[in-house]
């Protein structure tokens, strides 16, 4: 996926439906920015939900797929 330069990566909901920005602390002094996107099958359920709903969705029984994009400055 190619995004134009100067895109606010902290607001993925403006670019990708059903997506929020989160930060995970993986170890002391290391924080990783991630986007959590729920699948289209949960799109209606995700409409208008806040960050708490997305965080709780990470702990439910649905599978999680992690995509590692690399380190070139974009997600």
What pLDDT digit, counting tens, does each position of 4-58 carry? 667 777 777 777 788 888 888 989 998 888 888 888 888 899 998 988 998 888 8
- 6 CB neighbour count, 10 Å cutoff: 5
- Cα within 13 Å of Cα(51), Cβ side: 9
Whether residue 64 is contained in a domain is answered as no
Distances (CA, A) of 12 to 15, 29, 40, 49: 5, 24, 16, 14
Whether residue 69 is contained in a domain is answered as no
| pLDDT for residue 71 | 65
Whether residue 72 is contained in a domain is answered as no
The domain of 28 spans 12-58
Q: Which residues contact 47 (CB under 8 A, 6 or more apart)?
A: none
Number of domains in the chain: 1
Per the model's pLDDT, the better-predicted residue between 60 and 74 turns out to be 60
- CA 31 from chain centre, in angstroms, equals 14
Banded pLDDT at 72 (limits 50, 70, 90): low
Banded pLDDT at 75 (limits 50, 70, 90): low
Whether residue 3 is contained in a domain is answered as no
Whether residue 68 is contained in a domain is answered as no
Whether residue 5 is contained in a domain is answered as no
């Amino acid at each position: 996926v190619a995004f134009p330069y100067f895109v606010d990566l902290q607001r993925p909901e403006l670019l990708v439906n059903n997506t929020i920005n989160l930060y995970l602390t993986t170890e002391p002094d290391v924080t990783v920015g991630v986007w959590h996107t729920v699948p289209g099958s949960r799109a209606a359920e995700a409409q208008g939900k806040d960050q708490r709903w997305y965080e709780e969705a990470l702990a439910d029984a649905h599978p999680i797929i992690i995509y590692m994009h690399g380190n070139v400055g974009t997600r």
